[in-house]
Each structure stands twice: as structure tokens, then as C-alpha cells.
Structure 1
């Protein structure tokens, strides 16, 4: 039966349409007021937000593009056995910040014990085993790392937990600005390189011409000391538990799956336009704590001025992806490294002399053929490119007869760990005051920074560095309140 249309019903429909049309954008945008807008919910962002709210009694809003907190912490739950497999962050340096942060969430932290795997080094171009390559012995590695520690310990206060006390350009010791190749050969440190490279991920595409200071950033005194002493820690359960509990604590102060669209910044504060799905927010913040990777792309909404752009526009962005894949034709309990054949017989400096490097580490549980996939490149790569490169390299293993049988690569999980770092900054730029220019941005135009680009790139050192930033940020807030 057709509904009878009357003049009254038409007028009511028109009124409803006009009411919707007349609703202003401001009525659909949620307005939030906060002391600090935290950009990024990785290690430094999560830590900073928890401490600002819980210890400094400040309001926060965390803006995180992923659907979870944790940054480079990635965990895959194997569905058959319900086993958590950490394929991102593996362990933690023991610092007061780290110990206190885990204790805050009642997480036990026993010593880290790496799974013992049989190494298999293969030619990245052919898939054949590099039978003539001789890797350093454990004793030689330990001796070289001790020598490395003796050299870098004298610079510890300059680089940990941050670069606040880094010397003026004219006072930088010459050896810190030597190319790594020259420094390593002068000091007989070749045997330390495989371990440093494997743990730090430095130098995709080649390490020879990077500065010695870059090597010190990537594998500094605290990490070297605790690695040698076997003192690294790992939380019970999985590395993601910490961030799950932090999210439960922070609750609605976290906007997951959100992104910053634009920002208006002055010395008095900032107004951020943020989108989360179809919901838009206008966040009025007194200060910003920026903890995401400071690439020009990530910083584009923040209306950088020339002072800021001049610091960030030369940063190198190397691609790094981590994942879990089922590759059942590969031998379990092995670590397969795809390397340039120029390393034979024992050129440790050549380990990174290729545009990308792939490593496949057996993870267990036994019988499932699961491997942690680590692929780094000297340029950015997509998830599809990572999967294709992995499949091609596994196929070459099969063609070369390095492994028996054939199988497909089935990715179960993957995570993009690409980030901008100032590794690759030249000697001239360091002598022109790059470090000082970078740190001069702290607090500039209402924005403070933390994260791996401002400190040694490990969770524990980033947390310790954040502890040096937060009191300065809080003092800044008090200044604007008083003025």
C-alpha cells in the first residue's frame, strides 16, 4: 500500500533535510583539550604517555596509526599451540627505566636466553652455501667486543642516554668521524662486526663508509657491556604484554588507528586535526611530544619551518621488515643468512655489501616450519616486495640444492620497521653542528621529541632518554602557565 503524501509530510521532510544540511562541521568534530599530545604509541610514546599522566599528573592524548601500541614490538600467536612468538623486539638492556616500567605493570623480567640455532650462510645471488666463508670464533668475537667496549666507554656520557652533552663540533674526537672500515682495521675489530651487525641492523647496502660514531650509536657501551655479561632481560609471556597493559591503563586517552591531518603550532601550544576512521577530532594541546620517526613525510602535517626542515631533510630511510612465515622445506633450528659472496674467505666488512640482506631464523614450535623473516634494504620496500624477495631467495636455495625438497612461503604476520635515522650523516655535517642543531629543536614551537632518532635505538635506552626529556617538557608547561 502506497503511503499517502501530504503537504505536512513534505514540509517535515524538507525541514529534516535542511537540518542535516545546516549542521556545521564543528558539531561533528570532537574537541579535546589536553596538556600533551603524544604522537606515536611505540616504545617512547607509550612510556612518555604513561609517565606524564601517572607520575606528572598531566592529561595526554596518544595518536597512533596502528591498531595497537608497541611500535617495533611485534608478536604472533601461533594458533595450534597458542604459543606467542616475538618477531620484533627480542630483548632489553637493563636500565632503571626499563626495570621500573616492567615493574609498574607487574611483569617479571628473567634474563634473556637466545635460542641456539645452527648458522647457514648462503650466496644471496645463487642460493648456494658459502662453504669457504669463515666466521669469527666465539672467543675471537668476545675478545673483539671487549676491545670495542674499552674504546667506546670513554664516550659513554656523550651518547647515553642521549646526546645532550655531545661535544661542540670543534671538539669531536677525530676517531669518531673516521669511516668504519678505517677505524675497524686500525683497531683490529673485524671479529666483532658480524655480531654487531646482526643485533643492530646497521648499514644495509654497506658499512665501510659510515662514521665510527654511527657504529657507536647502534651498538653502544650499555648494550656491549650487558651482552658480554649475559645481563639482557626479556619479559615473561611476550614482549607485547607490556603494551597491552599500558593500553588498558591509558584507555580512552589513546586514539588507535588515527592519523594527524594538520597542525597549527605556535610557542603557546598547538591545535591538531586528527582523523580516526570517520571520526574527526580537534585536539587543543599545550605541548606536543613527537615520538614517531621524524621523516619529512611523517612531519608534513606539522607545518615545519626552515629551521626544522634543514635538520630533517637529509636523513636516510632504510627499509626494514620483520615477519613470521611458514617455510616447511627449510631445516628447523637453523639461521639462514643470505650474504654477498665477496665475504669469502673472511671479509667481515663485506657483510653488508649488497642492496638488501635477508635472514631466516627458525622460531619453533618444532614441527611447524615457522621462521622469523628479517629483511633490510638500503631503500624503502613494500610488504609485497618483501614477500617476493623472500620467495625468490627460498626458491634459489631449492634450485641450488642447499635445502632438500620444495615448498611455498606462507607469511603469517609481518610488520614494517622502516624508520628514518641520521646514520649516513657526513663528517662535514657533524663538524657543522648537526647534533647541536637537532637538539636545538627540543621545545621549539611547542614540540618536544623522543625516540630512536634522538637516542640509541633500543627500547631501554629510549625510555631512559625520555626520562631526560619529560622534566624539561613539564618545566616548559609551567613556564607558559606562569606567563
Structure 2
């Protein structure tokens, strides 16, 4: 396979026998890889989660306080999204960890604003006495946790997804192909993927 790569010194053509792709396997993100119709069909079935996390200083809030958002009338009591999942003490004294989810991608500024609005609402209801919110760190993990529906799973989606390994010389890696667990991903890398790449 031939890859055209734009470098600071100009375009470069790379001839490779195998290619390892670790980007989130969404067709829109992989347009530069010239996916074929089968790859677009399989990968196009994914739905993406949208997850954000931050470290915040919450003036007036006790350092050991955890606030968990729950949905009283939802399956598993998960909060209806978009919403903060929880504010909990971090390992850094004086900072709380916040986790936020959304059914569709949201800009970082909008997520930060929604988190502050959630805290103001909690304050107005007497749940927390936060007087000031200061973000010390913030990160978007979007797209996150790619999933498919039950009908796709029953129709053999994961067989088709795993069937992409080695097809057209491309090998795939990441949570969508295994699990959102670093230890299990490293095990998959060592026991399954590296033998395929070095064969």
C-alpha cells in the first residue's frame, strides 16, 4: 500500500506492507485512509459517546464532598444527558474531579458553561454552597465509547469488525476493537496484534 504523508518538508510517499490504525474508527475521521464500501459500512454503524472531564476548585465546598447526579426515573438511575455525572474529590488537595457526558459532541466552552450552570442550580437548591468555580484542567474525550445497537450485534457486527483485521493490509487497535481498559488493551497488543503485525 502507498501512503501520502504531508510533512514539514513537503509530501512524502511511504510504501508499507501493513498499516496500524489507532484513531477512533469513525468514517468521518478516517477519510484520509480511502476506506472501501465494506469498511465504511461496518465502521459507519458506530455511535459515539461524548465524555469530558476536568479538575475544578470549588470555593466553599468541603474537600471530601461527592455530589453524584442521578436520574430518579431512568434506567440504572443514570442522569439524562447532557449533564455532569459527578463532582468528587480528586487526589490533588482542594480540587474536585468532574465528569460530564453528552449524547452529541459539544464544544469545550459550552461544556464548561454547563458545568458552572449545574453548580449554580445545585447552589440555588441548597445542595452545595459553592461560591466560585475555577477550572484548573479540562479535557474532551470525544469520541468516547463507540457502541452499536442490539440489532447490529445480533446481526454479527463484531464478527464483521474483527474481520477488518488484516484486510487490505490494515490492522486496527483501540477501545472500539477491545475494551476501555489500558491493561486489557496492552494484553491485546502483545498477545493478538503484534503477532499479526510481525507475521
| TM-score under structure 1 length normalisation | 0.38
The number of residues matched between the two structures is 196
Which residue matches 1:371? 96
Query: Shift of the alpha carbon at 1:279?
Result: 4.9
> Out of 53, 74, 84, which is 1:322 matched to?
53
For the aligned residue pairs, the C-alpha RMSD in angstroms reads 2.0
Which residue matches 1:465? 188
| TM-score under structure 2 length normalisation | 0.88
Q: Say yes or no: does 1:391 pair with 2:122.
A: no
> Out of 322, 347, 352, which is 2:78 matched to?
352
Counterpart-to-counterpart distance in 2, 1:357 and 1:329 = 22
Q: Say yes or no: does 1:474 pair with 2:177.
A: no
Q: From the two aligned structures, give the one with the greater helix fraction.
A: 1
In the alignment, structure 1 segments of 5+ residues that lack a partner are 1-268, 344-348, 476-483
Counterpart-to-counterpart distance in 1, 2:43 and 2:152 = 12
Counterpart-to-counterpart distance in 2, 1:405 and 1:471 = 53
Counterpart-to-counterpart distance in 2, 1:331 and 1:352 = 25
CA contact (8 A) 1:328 1:370 kept: no
Q: Say yes or no: does 1:455 pair with 2:181.
A: no
Query: Shift of the alpha carbon at 1:314?
Result: 1.7
Query: Shift of the alpha carbon at 1:388?
Result: 0.8
Counterpart-to-counterpart distance in 2, 1:432 and 1:418 = 27
User: How big is each residue's C-alpha offset from its partner over 1:324-351, in whole Å with a ceiling of 9 and x where there is no partner?
Assistant: 12212222112211222336xxxxx342
Alignment of 1:401-412 (within 5 A): 401-404=126-129, 406-407=131-132, 409-412=133-136
User: How big is each residue's C-alpha offset from its partner over 1:301-323, in whole Å with a ceiling of 9 and x where there is no partner?
Assistant: 10111010010112111110111
1:323 match: secondary structure: strand
Alignment of 1:281-320 (within 5 A): 281-284=11-14, 285-320=16-51
Which residue matches 1:3? none
Query: Shift of the alpha carbon at 1:297?
Result: 2.1
**Structure showing greater Rg:** 1
Query: Shift of the alpha carbon at 1:419?
Result: 2.5
CA contact (8 A) 1:331 1:403 kept: no
